[in-house]
């Protein structure tokens, strides 16, 4: 590779575009603020209003706290759909990330205040900010690589380390800050750190000139998505229309029988599903259609995975606080710090897991993204076996050892590494460039639905007990993962070789490049 006269965005460090490290750092600080806050949330809500040495909490019951936690962690990711659309239609991914970072600084800033309005306003702003930032920064990572560049998976694994470095630092530091100066100091720290993310992103712009730019719509451009037109065509597509109406009726039924929040959520999901159906219909070739279908099917795994995994910040967090012996060498470890196990294990094992899969693939063994994702679900599911042991020990002796938690988080993490970075990369391989931001948004929304499921399952522990819940999750996840492994062959056929023939490519090979275009290697 020649190194002469390279423009900043073409320069590389350790074989990866420098832009990757700018996005890595921005996301690292953003995740610091997000995970720092997430670790505190249920604990803050369930602390008595009289308070303890961390200051007064909101005095809510476990069930109330987990319900809000479920809505919050869901909305944070569901907002990725409008976030992706705003990037596509109005400002481009690069500016959407900038806007998201600014809104996040405001949100965390507001959370420093102790009033209840500030609590809700702050959460609302964080939801908007993450929705703008998270899907678009991930799409920008994909945009750094050309079609078929094998460095893409590794790039996403490195980016994933950034995410978890942020999470690790947050859960180590925020717990200590809260123990020393109280809840709102913890929230404030998240805000300061987000400001660092913003500064870092603005300063690194020259390395990102090639990605995330807004292209104003040209008239009759085939690459332009018109959501209005797609919904318009729905009216002329009888099958899709009937399906949409049925979903709408179910949503309205949900509105009346459950809370209004569920009604709104179902209506939103109906709108998204009908949009996806129309996009499928509009895709030009069978290759595009098949890939789109397989991507949507893989989202089932995504929902199941996060539905189980997200017990971490909710039920497992509360379990740690009240039922785990946290004393190590005479020091009681703050509950929040257990949240750092996941991130710590990611940093330790991310490259090990990525190299394991790469080696397998080189040996000609199964290494498709779908396979990795299914294996990931099963491994994560087995983590709950240790939580079952923890619950059994508690029933017997009135406390449970922290070793079960450590093992559970270890398995959860290995599972996450098989699924999450792989899924991000998979989307950017399978989606035509036109729909890249939208589909990244849909992916995060699927993880958000998983979080909501996690909240509902966690709440059910009040009625059924932790033992039953942990055992149920174990059984269910192993069944779903195994089903996908059994269906691997037909599903892989539908990807039409999107992951075959990947090779190393560098940024000075071409000036402009785009995300996966199936026609390039499927004639
Ligand atoms: N832990 C990962 C992150 O924060 C994945 C979260 C998700 O996809 N829901 O980015």
- Residue ranges covered by each domain of the chain: 15-214+283-521, 225-282
Fold adopted by 15-214+283-521:
Growth Hormone; Chain: A; (1.20.1250)
Instruction: Give the model confidence (pLDDT) of 263-276 as tens digits.
Output: 888 999 999 999 99
pLDDT at residue 78, as a whole number = 92
User: What's the mean pLDDT in 201-207?
Assistant: 94
- Tell me if 306 CB under 6 Å of ligand 1: yes
Rounded to whole angstroms, the Cα distance separating 435 from 42 reads: 36
Answer whether residue 518 shows pLDDT above 80.
no
- Burial label for 260, CB within 10 Å (0-12, 13-18, 19+), is exposed
What is the number of the ligand 1 atom nearest to the C-alpha of 451?
9
Report the separation in Å between the CA atom of 57 and the middle of ligand 1, taken as the mean of its atom positions.
Answer: 27
Q: What is the DSSP string of 226-271?
A: -HHHHHHHHTT-HHHHHHHHHHHHHHHHHHHHS-HHHHHHHHHHHH
β-pairing, 324-325 with 400-401? parallel
Mutate to test the pocket of ligand 1, among 37, 137, 163, 164 (most ligand atoms within 8 A of CB): 163
Name the residue at shortest CA distance from atom 3 of ligand 1: 163
How far CA 392 is from CA of 3, 255, 468, 471, in Å, comes to: 61, 39, 10, 11
Packing angle of the helix pair 116-143, 62-78 (nearest 10 deg): 40
What is the number of the ligand 1 atom nearest to the C-alpha of 306?
9
User: What's the mean pLDDT in 420-439?
Assistant: 84
pLDDT at residue 2, as a whole number = 47
Instruction: Give the model confidence (pLDDT) of 383-399 as tens digits.
Output: 999 999 999 999 999 89
Compute the radius of gyration of the chain from its Cα atoms: 23
Answer whether residue 344 shows pLDDT above 70.
yes
Rounded to whole angstroms, the Cα distance separating 237 from 434 reads: 22
pLDDT at residue 79, as a whole number = 92
pLDDT at residue 49, as a whole number = 78
Answer whether residue 30 shows pLDDT above 80.
yes
pLDDT at residue 187, as a whole number = 86
User: What's the mean pLDDT in 86-105?
Assistant: 93
Answer whether residue 4 shows pLDDT above 90.
no
3-state secondary structure of 514: coil
User: What's the mean pLDDT in 318-332?
Assistant: 86
Answer whether residue 433 shows pLDDT above 90.
no
User: What's the mean pLDDT in 419-435?
Assistant: 84
pLDDT at residue 357, as a whole number = 85
According to DSSP, the residues that pair with 324 across neighbouring strands are 400
What is the number of the ligand 1 atom nearest to the C-alpha of 34?
4
């Amino acid at each position: 590779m020649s190194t002469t006269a390279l423009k900043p965005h073409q320069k590389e460090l350790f074989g990866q575009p420098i832009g990757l490290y700018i996005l890595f750092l921005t996301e690292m600080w953003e995740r610091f603020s997000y995970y720092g806050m997430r670790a505190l949330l249920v604990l803050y809500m369930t602390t008595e209003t009289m308070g303890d040495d961390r200051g007064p909490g909101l005095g809510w019951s476990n069930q109330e706290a987990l319900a809000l936690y479920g809505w919050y962690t869901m909305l944070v990711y569901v907002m990725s759909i409008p976030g992706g659309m705003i990037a596509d239609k109005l400002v481009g991914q690069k500016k959407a990330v900038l806007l998201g970072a600014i809104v996040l600084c405001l949100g965390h800033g507001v959370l420093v205040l102790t009033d209840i309005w500030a609590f809700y306003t702050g959460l609302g702003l964080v939801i908007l900010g993450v929705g703008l930032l998270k899907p678009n920064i991930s799409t920008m990572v994909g945009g750094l690589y050309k079609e078929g560049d094998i460095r893409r998976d590794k790039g996403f694994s490195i980016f994933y380390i950034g995410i978890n470095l942020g999470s690790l630092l947050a859960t180590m530091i925020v717990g200590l800050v809260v123990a020393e100066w109280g809840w709102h100091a913890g929230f404030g720290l998240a805000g300061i750190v987000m400001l660092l993310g913003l500064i870092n992103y603005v300063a690194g712009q020259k390395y990102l000139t090639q990605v995330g730019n807004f292209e104003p719509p040209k008239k009759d451009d085939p690459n332009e998505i018109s959501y209005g037109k797609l919904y318009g065509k729905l009216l002329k597509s009888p099958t899709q229309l009937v399906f949409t109406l049925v979903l709408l009726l179910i949503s309205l039924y949900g509105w009346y029988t459950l809370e209004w929040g569920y009604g709104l959520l179902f209506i939103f999901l109906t709108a998204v599903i009908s949009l996806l159906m129309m996009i499928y219909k509009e895709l030009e070739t069978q290759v595009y259609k098949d890939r789109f279908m397989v991507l949507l099917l893989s989202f089932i795994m995504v929902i199941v995975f996060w539905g189980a995994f997200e017990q971490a910040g909710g039920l497992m967090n509360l379990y740690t606080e009240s039922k785990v012996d946290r004393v190590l060498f005479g020091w009681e470890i703050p509950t929040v710090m257990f949240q750092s196990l996941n991130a710590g294990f990611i940093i330790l094992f991310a490259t090990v897991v990525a190299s394991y899969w790469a080696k397998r693939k080189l040996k000609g063994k199964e290494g498709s993204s779908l396979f990795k994702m299914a294996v990931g679900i099963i491994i994560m599911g087995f983590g709950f076996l240790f939580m079952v042991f923890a619950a059994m020990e508690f029933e017997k002796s009135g406390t449970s050892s922290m070793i079960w938690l450590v093992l559970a988080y270890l398995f959860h993490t290995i599972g996450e590494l098989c699924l999450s970075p792989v899924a991000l990369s998979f989307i950017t391989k399978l989606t035509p460039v036109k729909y890249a931001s939208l589909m990244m948004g849909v992916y995060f929304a699927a993880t958000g639905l998983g979080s909501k499921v996690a909240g509902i399952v966690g709440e059910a522990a009040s009625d059924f007990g932790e033992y039953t819940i942990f055992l149920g999750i174990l059984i269910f996840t192993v069944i779903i993962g195994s089903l996908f492994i059994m269906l691997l062959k037909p599903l892989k056929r539908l990807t039409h070789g999107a992951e075959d023939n990947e090779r190393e490519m560098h940024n000075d090979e071409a000036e402009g490049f785009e995300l996966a275009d199936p026609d390039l290697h499927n004639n």
